[in-house]
């Protein structure tokens, strides 16, 4: 199969592929998604097939109009309207109980709930509207690997497997959306996957306490939302998290154990330790925003060099956006920190 790169004037053509049951990757403000018609079970099964994704892992349904929710959601949480007003379109996914039979079982992973999002990307909103159907959109990469933040990343993983890719350049945020569980209208919302819409921001807007589900889903467990597995977002090269005080010891250990090291970090760390290792990938600056934007791209770049035996990655405080960064990094590293 030829995988076509669609530009802005070809969105209608890309939408026809979705209607016809084919797969087309699309851009969002977070990462690129792998699109299929959410109402065609056979098309959704193709998503699992080309990604190599476990079929118990539920998918996020992308919509372009709030009114589409009413076709599927059984019982809205009382905070839904306020959340939509403040955060849609945007990097926030909401989980609701759905009307029985309203979506194929393969979309929900066999659950009575489903996840919905309205992405903040004009091309993709036009893409969904022209398709006339809701579109599933897990990250457009091989399952378990770092998510794609450019069309080139998608092409690397999906060339010859899907009909096309709608290109809109690099994504703005770099990690997947916040997933908020609203399936029980009687309970406060709970974050199942942290993202750019942080706990602090949600609490300020909604004037209620928001919990974060820190449970790590094992391989034999069915997750309620994407990205909840114990290990995820992992390149083939081993990843290890480095605390600020451990860089010297980690570099020395690597040399003594004949490790070929790469470093993924901000300019401050790269300037101090970059000359001691084989390869580096620097975030654009030392901020958590830059780190979050560059995490997946950096993991991919260092892994694709095929020269390294280990990738050392800078950690950040688990506050605000740091919660999302560290959530992805811990899973990429299989929870492994360097220990002296």
- pLDDT digits (tens), the chain, 340 positions: 899 999 999 999 999 999 999 999 999 999 999 999 999 999 999 999 999 887 778 999 999 999 999 999 999 999 999 999 999 999 999 999 999 999 999 999 999 999 999 999 999 999 999 999 999 999 999 988 999 999 999 999 999 999 999 999 999 999 999 999 999 999 999 999 999 999 999 999 999 999 999 776 666 666 677 666 556 788 999 999 999 999 999 999 999 999 999 999 999 999 999 999 999 999 999 999 999 999 999 999 999 987 899 999 999 999 999 999 999 999 999 999 999 8
pLDDT of residue 54: 76
Does 293 count as an annotated binding residue?
no
Question: What percentage of the chain has pLDDT greater than the value 70?
Answer: 96
- How far from chain centre, in Å, is Cα 298? 15
Asked if 283 and 292 count as a contact pair (C-beta separation under 8 A), the reply is no
Question: In the chain, where are the structural domains located?
Answer: 4-212, 238-332
Q: What is the pTM of this model?
A: 0.94
**Bridge partners of residue 242, in order along the sequence:** 314
Does 177 count as an annotated binding residue?
yes
pLDDT of residue 53: 80
CATH fold of the domain at 4-212: DHBP synthase (3.90.870)
Does 113 count as an annotated binding residue?
yes
Phi then psi for 310, rounded to 5 degrees? -155, 145
Does 62 count as an annotated binding residue?
yes
Does 143 count as an annotated binding residue?
no
Does 234 count as an annotated binding residue?
no
Asked if 302 and 237 count as a contact pair (C-beta separation under 8 A), the reply is yes
Does 57 count as an annotated binding residue?
yes
Q: Can you list the alpha helix ranges (DSSP code H) found in 68-211? A: 80-87, 105-108, 122-131, 151-158, 199-206
Does 272 count as an annotated binding residue?
no
pLDDT of residue 144: 84
Does 139 count as an annotated binding residue?
yes
pLDDT of residue 153: 97
Phi then psi for 118, rounded to 5 degrees? -115, 100
- How far from chain centre, in Å, is Cα 224? 15
pLDDT of residue 166: 98
pLDDT of residue 169: 97
Taking CA atoms, 171 is separated from 56, 74, 119, 242, in Å, by 28, 33, 12, 26
Q: What share of the chain is helix, strand, coil (3-state, %, to 5)?
A: 35, 20, 45
Q: For the chain, how many residues are written? A: 340
CA dihedral 306, 236, 320, 246 (to 10 degrees): -70
The residue behind tokens 């849609």 is 88
Asked if 37 and 135 count as a contact pair (C-beta separation under 8 A), the reply is yes
Tell which CATH classification among 3.40.50.11030, 3.40.50.2020, 3.40.190.10, 3.90.850.10 matches the domain 238-332. Answer: 3.40.50.11030
């Amino acid at each position: 199969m030829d995988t076509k790169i669609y530009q802005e004037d070809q969105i209608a053509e890309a939408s026809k592929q979705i209607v016809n049951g084919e797969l087309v990757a699309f851009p969002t403000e977070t990462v690129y998604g792998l699109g299929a018609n959410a109402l065609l079970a056979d098309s959704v099964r193709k998503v699992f097939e080309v990604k190599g994704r476990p079929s118990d892992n539920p998918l996020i349904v992308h919509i372009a109009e709030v009114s589409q929710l009413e076709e599927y959601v059984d019982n809205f949480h009382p905070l839904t309207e306020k959340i939509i007003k403040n955060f849609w379109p945007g990097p926030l996914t909401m989980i609701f109980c759905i009307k029985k039979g309203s979506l194929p079982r393969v979309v929900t992973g066999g659950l009575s709930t489903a996840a919905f999002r309205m992405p903040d990307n004009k091309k993709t909103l036009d893409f969904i509207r022209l398709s006339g159907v809701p579109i599933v959109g897990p990250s457009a990469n091989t399952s378990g690997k770092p998510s794609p933040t450019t069309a080139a990343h998608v092409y690397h993983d999906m060339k010859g497997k899907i009909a096309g890719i709608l290109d809109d350049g690099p994504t703005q945020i770099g990690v997947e959306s916040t997933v908020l569980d609203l399936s029980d209208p009687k309970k406060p919302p709970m974050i199942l996957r942290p993202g750019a819409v942080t706990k602090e921001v949600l609490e300020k807007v909604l004037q209620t306490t928001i919990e974060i589900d820190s449970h790590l889903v094992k391989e034999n467990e069915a997750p309620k939302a994407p990205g909840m597995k114990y290990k995820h977002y992992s390149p083939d090269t081993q990843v290890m998290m480095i605390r600020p005080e451990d860089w010297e010891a980690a570099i020395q250990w690597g040399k003594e154990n004949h490790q070929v090291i790469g470093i993924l970090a901000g300019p401050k760390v790269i300037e101090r330790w970059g000359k001691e290792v084989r390869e580096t990938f620097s975030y654009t600056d030392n901020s958590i925003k830059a780190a979050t934007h560059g995490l997946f791209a950096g993991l991919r770049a260092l892994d694709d060099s095929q020269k390294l035996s280990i990738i050392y990655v800078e950690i950040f405080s688990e506050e605000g956006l740091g919660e999302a960064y560290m959530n992805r990094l811990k899973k990429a590293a299989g929870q492994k920190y360097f220990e002296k």
